């Protein structure tokens, strides 16, 4: 007797298909195999079962968001583009005393950037499970809550809530979005960046390893369709949904393919992100995705959400 495939975590559709088996080819944190399923109705790609009891193992101490490394030129360009983007987002938020929350914000490096962009930002809050980031965040003037978004509570309302590469890492994205909605000021904006499964690279590297899986750390990966469904279920309105470059996923996918063919070497001591090919491949594919973006879907979604009925900045 065969076990039925799991239900889709976003639309609850029972008709999901097995999409891929993968391992941690990026950090080699475990030897286990993980199963990914795809929903034919909404396009969600998800891991099952969720390795929620392995957090300390699957986020090793050399995990990239825990390490403050040297900035390469790609990172600098990315930061410059981010600043430009956030300046335009902040311009649309009225008020003289703004509160900003960064969920999964680590040391608060993004909040540091935002404070330089807009002097109206008076209060900044990080919510993160990383114990080591607290000291740096607090010394840079950010309030720090060590724990999950679901368990965070405050009397404050936020004008800008960032969830950059966050919702794909959590077991219950709906609960996290609903929580963000309760913390959002009436005219506030939630900015989300998350992988898109409905992309060339996802299809191209399905048989070897697609970097967007970030196996086993990405648990629920959306398409435009499934994210719109999730936002609606959370009672939030989509103000803007665009596609942005997914260069790291191309780089992860290619380096893993070469490594599995034994052409190059990666290991727990030498994770993919520190491989010498990572920076040049990322630069090349950032440009590639930038050029093709007007006529094809790249593998990252950029979304702005707000309270429904508040259409003041829809143009
Ligand atoms: Zn679904």
Tell whether 300 is covered by a domain. Answer: yes
Q: How far is the CA of 210 from the centre of ligand 1 (A)?
A: 20
CB neighbour class for 129 (10 Å; exposed up to 12, middle 13-18, buried from 19): middle
Give the per-residue pLDDT at 315. 41
Indicate the helix (H) or strand (E) that contains 158: strand 158-164
Percentage of the chain surpassing pLDDT 90? Answer: 77
Q: How far is the CA of 47 from the centre of ligand 1 (A)?
A: 13
* Contact predicate 211/281, CB 8 Å: no
Give the per-residue pLDDT at 269. 86
Phi then psi dihedrals of residue 291, to 5 deg: -70, -40
Tell whether 182 is covered by a domain. Answer: yes
Distances (CA, A) of 86 to 33, 80, 92, 241: 39, 10, 10, 15
How far is Cα 244 from Cα 302, in angstroms, rounded to an integer?
6
Map residue 23 onto helix, strand or coil: coil
- Using the predicted structure, report yes or no on whether residue 66 has a pLDDT greater than 60: no
Tell whether 8 is covered by a domain. Answer: no
Q: How far is the CA of 310 from the centre of ligand 1 (A)?
A: 28
Give the per-residue pLDDT at 61. 78
Q: What is the mean pLDDT of residues 251-277?
A: 92
Tell whether 311 is covered by a domain. Answer: no
Q: What is the mean pLDDT of residues 185-206?
A: 96
Tell whether 265 is covered by a domain. Answer: yes
- Using the predicted structure, report yes or no on whether residue 235 has a pLDDT greater than 70: yes
* Contact predicate 86/114, CB 8 Å: yes
- Using the predicted structure, report yes or no on whether residue 97 has a pLDDT greater than 90: yes
Whole-number mean pLDDT of the chain? 91
Long-range pairs of 283-291 with CB within 8 A, sequence gap ≥ 24: 283/73, 283/74, 283/247, 284/247, 285/245, 285/246, 285/247, 285/250, 285/251, 286/74, 286/77, 286/78, 286/245, 286/247, 288/247, 288/250, 289/244, 289/245, 289/246, 289/247, 289/250, 290/245
pLDDT category, 78, cuts 50, 70, 90?
confident
User: Any idea what the CATH number is for the domain that residue 195 is in?
Assistant: 3.40.50.150
Count of CB atoms situated within 10 Å of the CB of 58? 19
Distances (CA, A) of 15 to 4, 41, 174: 9, 8, 20
How far is Cα 219 from Cα 113, in angstroms, rounded to an integer?
29
Give the per-residue pLDDT at 71. 60
- Adjacency order of strands within the sheet including 45-47: 16-22, 34-39, 45-47, 220-221
pLDDT category, 7, cuts 50, 70, 90?
very high
Q: How far is the CA of 225 from the centre of ligand 1 (A)?
A: 9
> Which pair of structure tokens corresponds to residue 233?
């279920």
Q: How far is the CA of 298 from the centre of ligand 1 (A)?
A: 20
Q: How far is the CA of 233 from the centre of ligand 1 (A)?
A: 13
Q: How far is the CA of 312 from the centre of ligand 1 (A)?
A: 31
Tell whether 131 is covered by a domain. Answer: yes
Q: How far is the CA of 98 from the centre of ligand 1 (A)?
A: 36
DSSP-assigned beta bridge partners for residue 158: 184
DSSP-assigned beta bridge partners for residue 162: 102, 191
Q: What are the residues whose beta carbons fall under 8 Å from the beta carbon of 40, sequence distance 6 or more?
A: 13, 15, 16, 17
Q: How far is the CA of 228 from the centre of ligand 1 (A)?
A: 11
Tell whether 298 is covered by a domain. Answer: yes
In the chain, the number of structural domains is: 1
Q: What are the residues whose beta carbons fall under 8 Å from the beta carbon of 301, sequence distance 6 or more?
A: 192, 193, 194, 195, 196, 222, 224, 227, 241, 242, 243, 244
Give the per-residue pLDDT at 309. 82
How far is Cα 173 from Cα 150, in angstroms, rounded to an integer?
10
pLDDT category, 311, cuts 50, 70, 90?
low
- Chain segment 273-297, per-residue pLDDT in tens: 889 999 999 999 999 998 988 888 9
Tell whether 264 is covered by a domain. Answer: yes
Q: How far is the CA of 142 from the centre of ligand 1 (A)?
A: 37
Give the per-residue pLDDT at 51. 95
How far is Cα 160 from Cα 180, in angstroms, rounded to an integer?
10
Q: Which domain holds residue 54?
A: 16-306
Q: How far is the CA of 215 from the centre of ligand 1 (A)?
A: 20
Q: How far is the CA of 127 from the centre of ligand 1 (A)?
A: 28
Task: With CA atoms as reference, report the closest residue to 231 among 13, 42, 41, 16.
Answer: 42
pLDDT category, 108, cuts 50, 70, 90?
very high
Q: How far is the CA of 171 from the centre of ligand 1 (A)?
A: 15
Give the per-residue pLDDT at 314. 46
Provide the 8-state DSSP code for 211: G
Percentage of the chain surpassing pLDDT 70? Answer: 94
């Amino acid at each position: 007797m065969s076990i039925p495939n799991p239900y889709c975590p976003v639309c609850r559709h029972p008709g999901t298909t097995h999409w891929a088996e993968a391992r941690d080819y990026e950090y080699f944190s475990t030897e286990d195999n993980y199963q990914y399923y795809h929903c034919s109705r909404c396009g969600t790609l998800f891991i099952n079962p969720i390795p929620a009891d392995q957090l300390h193992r699957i986020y090793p101490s050399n995990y990239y968001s825990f390490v403050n490394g040297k900035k390469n030129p790609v990172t600098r360009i990315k930061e410059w583009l981010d600043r430009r983007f956030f300046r335009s987002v902040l311009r649309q938020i009225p008020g003289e005393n703004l509160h900003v929350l960064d969920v999964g914000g680590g040391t608060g490096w993004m909040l540091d950037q935002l404070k330089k962009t807009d002097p109206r930002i008076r209060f900044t809050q990080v919510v993160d499970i990383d114990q080591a980031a607290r000291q740096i965040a607090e010394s840079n003037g950010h309030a720090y809550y060590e724990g999950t978004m679901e368990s965070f509570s405050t009397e404050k309302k936020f004008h800008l809530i960032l969830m950059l590469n966050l919702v794909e890492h959590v077991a219950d994205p709906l609960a996290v979005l609903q929580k963000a909605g309760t913390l959002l000021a009436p005219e506030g904006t939630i900015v989300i960046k998350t992988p898109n499964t409905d992309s060339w690279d996802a299809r191209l590297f399905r048989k070897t390893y697609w970097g967007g899986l970030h196996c086993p750390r990405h648990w629920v990966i959306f398409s435009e369709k499934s994210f719109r469904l999730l936002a609606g279920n959370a009672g939030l309105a989509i103000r803007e949904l665009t596609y942005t470059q997914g260069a790291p996923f191309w780089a992860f996918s290619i380096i893993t393919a070469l490594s599995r063919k034994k052409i190059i070497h990666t290991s727990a001591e030498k994770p993919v992100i520190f491989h010498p090919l990572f920076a040049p491949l990322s630069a090349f594919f950032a440009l590639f995705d930038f050029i093709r973006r007007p006529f094809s879907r790249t593998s990252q979604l950029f979304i702005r959400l707000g309270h429904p009925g508040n259409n003041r900045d829809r143009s």
